[in-house]
């Protein structure tokens, strides 16, 4: 599900979503790929008349159809024992005719909608190994946010069924909860009979990913950070590779069907680790998440304290070819420091899970850390982060963290002191950060 966005503050994001809805494929905009659509438009009956379903040869009839929805499964429909009918052509006695001054208006008794015939099939849906012909769209939830629930009247082998199709956020235990409940309620009068169910995959064996700030629980957030630290550790200690650009844009959460775990993408600027660990300026990170050591080196190497974070790469690329490109020292602990900034920025700039943004502009008196770390120049950014660790500033984390992340404040505070107490001569190790994350992960509520 797409996190909420402000169309004024993020117009390009809004246009991307709008373009996907207008020009995207059926799978792109959320249609069930197991359904083959025969007609151009599926118009749910309740949009025409909330209390009626049209028959083939008569005007819409007033009929109330009581049905329980079956999540992601098929339920059999009940067939009435007899049609509702009244003979209006019974010959009236002459005495009765004389006693009635005016004949009452004749009412046309509607045909039972469940007995209506359907000459045109809307579509066909494949459920496991069975093909169901969709006769009518009974219900379709309206709105852009939700599970997109759709209920169809379908037929297979001359027997009619109700199919409920919806998208559920969560793992298989959440998705199949309704199926489990229907099985336990099997045989109870008034509960739909579960015939079969199926899970729709967007693409076979293709994992789904989302940005780190679109976490669902705080446990998932910390667990993903722990996984990314392990990825960095494996890259450095086993493969001799340094990622060099771990930021909020490159830290992801992957759902492979058996749970979620952290994912580190964008290895474009990764380098092999050499003795001395000096590398040509290229991929050294994204400004708000760069370590204070990298920022200081970059400002010195570029040679212009007023160089902005957006123009320093251009300046280096257009420098004289006769002049050798500057080298900087990039260590693994610089990448570990980047993850600390990622955690802090999420806890300040978000106000909950699924990427819900915290409007920092509402309190302009506050010197928000993410804004300070996004300073316009490399030198300013380096100076601010150096002072952040040189002077005790843990209280700023407590003051600026959104209340939703109160349980993560001890983790961020201890991580801050771990970096600060190491100083310039000692480096924070992978194991120290992993132990810190593991300790706090065990104390977080699992829900």
Q: Which helix (H) or strand (E) holds 99?
A: helix 94-99
CB atoms within 10 A of CB 247: 19
Signed CA dihedral, 417, 422, 427, 431: sign only: negative
Cβ proximity of 34 and 128 under 8 Å: no
Confidence at residue 16, expressed as pLDDT on a 0 to 100 scale:
81
CATH of the domain at 397: 1.10.510.10
Cβ proximity of 149 and 137 under 8 Å: no
Same domain, 191 and 251: no
Polymer length of the chain: 447
* Pairwise CA distance, residues 70 & 162, whole Å: 8
Question: 296 forms bridges with which residues in the sheet?
Answer: none
Same domain, 123 and 225: no
Same domain, 227 and 163: no
Domain range for 171 is: 33-55+63-79+116-205
Non-local (6+) Cβ contacts of 292 within 8 A are 337, 382, 385, 386, 388, 389
Query: In Å, how far are 73, 169, 175 from 180, measured between CA atoms?
Result: 11, 17, 10
- Residues 273-277: contacts with CB under 8 Å, at least 24 apart: 273/236, 273/240, 273/241, 273/242, 276/329, 277/242, 277/329, 277/330, 277/331
Helices 332-349 and 218-237 pack at an angle, to 10 degrees, of 170
CB atoms within 10 A of CB 67: 15
Same domain, 411 and 346: yes
CA dihedral 30, 34, 39, 44 (to 10 degrees): -60
Same domain, 425 and 314: yes
Q: Give DSSP secondary structure letters for 142-186.
A: -SSSS---EEEEEEETTEEEEEEE----S-HHHHTHHHHHHHHTT
Same domain, 140 and 266: no
User: How would you class 212 by CB atoms within 10 Å of its CB: exposed for 0-12, middle for 13-18, buried for 19 or more?
Assistant: buried
The pair of structure tokens assigned to 20 is: 């996907």
Same domain, 143 and 166: yes
Q: 3-state class of 132 per DSSP? A: strand
Residue in the structure block whose two tokens are 């780190």: 212
Q: 3-state class of 95 per DSSP? A: helix
Residue 86 lies in a domain: no
> What ranges make up the beta strands (E) of 347-407?
none
Q: 3-state class of 258 per DSSP? A: coil
Residue 220 half-sphere exposure toward CB, CA atoms < 13 A: 23
Q: How does pLDDT run across 204-259, given as a tens digit for each residue?
A: 555 578 899 999 999 999 999 999 999 999 999 988 888 887 888 889 998 877 78
Residue 256 lies in a domain: yes
Q: Which helix (H) or strand (E) holds 152?
A: strand 150-156
* Pairwise CA distance, residues 224 & 215, whole Å: 9
SS3 content of the chain, % helix, strand, coil (to 5): 35, 15, 50
Same domain, 68 and 213: no
* Pairwise CA distance, residues 164 & 138, whole Å: 10
* Pairwise CA distance, residues 297 & 378, whole Å: 9
Residue 25 lies in a domain: yes
Same domain, 45 and 141: yes
* Pairwise CA distance, residues 155 & 162, whole Å: 9
Residue in the structure block whose two tokens are 């992978």: 430
Query: In Å, how far are 369, 417, 420, 421, 433 from 390, measured between CA atoms?
Result: 15, 11, 7, 9, 20
Which residue among 205, 237, 253 closes a domain? 205
Same domain, 280 and 378: yes
> What ranges make up the beta strands (E) of 221-344?
241-242, 251-255, 260-264, 271-272, 278-280, 327-329
Q: Which helix (H) or strand (E) holds 266?
A: none
Residue 216 lies in a domain: yes
pTM of the model: 0.56
Rounded CA Rg of the chain? 32
Same domain, 243 and 367: yes
Confidence at residue 345, expressed as pLDDT on a 0 to 100 scale:
94
Question: 73 forms bridges with which residues in the sheet?
Answer: 197
The pair of structure tokens assigned to 97 is: 């005719």
* Pairwise CA distance, residues 171 & 199, whole Å: 11
Please list the rounded mean pLDDT of every run of 10 residues in the chain (447 residues).
73 82 70 60 46 37 32 41 36 44 58 56 85 87 75 90 83 80 81 85 64 93 95 90 84 84 85 75 64 78 55 41 62 88 94 89 84 79 84 92 95 94 81 96 85
Query: In Å, how far are 137, 220, 288, 339, 399 from 402, measured between CA atoms?
Result: 44, 18, 19, 18, 8
The pair of structure tokens assigned to 154 is: 């379908």
Residue 281 lies in a domain: yes
For the chain, the distance separating the N- and C-terminal CA atoms, rounded to the nearest angstrom, is 19
Residue 102 lies in a domain: no
Q: How many domains does the chain have?
A: 3
The pair of structure tokens assigned to 49 is: 């008349």
Same domain, 130 and 244: no
Confidence at residue 175, expressed as pLDDT on a 0 to 100 scale:
79
């Amino acid at each position: 599900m797409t996190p909420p966005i402000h169309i004024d503050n993020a117009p390009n994001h809004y246009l991307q979503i709008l373009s996907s809805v207008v020009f995207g494929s059926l799978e792109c905009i959320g249609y069930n790929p197991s359904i083959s659509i025969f007609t151009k438009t599926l118009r749910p009956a309740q949009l025409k008349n909330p209390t009626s379903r049209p028959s083939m040869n008569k005007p819409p009839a007033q009929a109330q159809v009581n049905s329980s929805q079956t999540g992601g499964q098929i339920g059999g429909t009940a067939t009435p024992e007899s049609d509702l009918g009244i003979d209006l052509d019974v010959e009236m006695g002459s005495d009765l005719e004389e006693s009635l001054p005016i004949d009452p208006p004749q009412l046309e008794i509607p045909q039972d909608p469940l007995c209506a015939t359907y000459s045109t099939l809307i579509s066909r849906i494949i459920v496991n190994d069975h093909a169901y012909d969709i006769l009518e769209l009974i219900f379709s939830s309206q709105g852009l946010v939700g599970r997109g629930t759709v209920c169809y009247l379908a037929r297979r082998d001359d027997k009619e069924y109700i199919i409920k199709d919806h998208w559920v956020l969560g793992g298989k235990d959440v998705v199949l909860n309704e199926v489990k409940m229907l099985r336990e309620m099997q045989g109870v009068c008034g509960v739909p009979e579960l015939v079969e169910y199926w899970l729709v995959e967007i693409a076979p064996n293709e994992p789904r990913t989302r940005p780190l700030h679109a976490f669902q629980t705080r446990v998932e957030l910390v667990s993903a950070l722990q996984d990314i630290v392990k990825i960095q550790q494996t890259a450095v200690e086993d493969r001799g590779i340094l990622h060099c650009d771990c930021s909020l844009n490159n830290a992801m959460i992957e759902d492979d069907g058996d749970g979620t775990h952290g994912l580190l993408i964008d290895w474009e600027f990764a380098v092999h680790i050499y003795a001395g660990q000096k590398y040509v300026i290229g991929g050294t990170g994204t400004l708000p998440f760069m370590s204070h050591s990298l920022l200081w080196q970059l400002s010195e190497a570029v040679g212009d304290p007023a160089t902005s974070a957006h123009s320093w790469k251009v300046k280096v690329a257009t420098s004289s070819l006769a002049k050798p490109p500057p080298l900087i020292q990039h260590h693994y602990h610089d990448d570990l420091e980047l993850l600390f900034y990622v955690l802090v920025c999420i806890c300040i700039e978000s106000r909950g899970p699924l990427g819900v943004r915290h409007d920092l502009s509402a309190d302009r008196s506050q010197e928000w850390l993410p804004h300070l770390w996004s300073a316009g120049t490399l030198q300013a950014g380096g100076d601010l982060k150096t002072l952040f660790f040189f002077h005790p500033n843990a209280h700023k984390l407590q003051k600026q963290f959104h209340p939703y992340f109160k349980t993560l404040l001890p983790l961020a505070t201890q991580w801050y002191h771990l970096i600060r107490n190491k100083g310039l001569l000692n480096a924070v190790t992978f194991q120290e950060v992993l132990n810190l994350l593991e300790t706090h992960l065990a104390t977080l509520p699992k829900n």
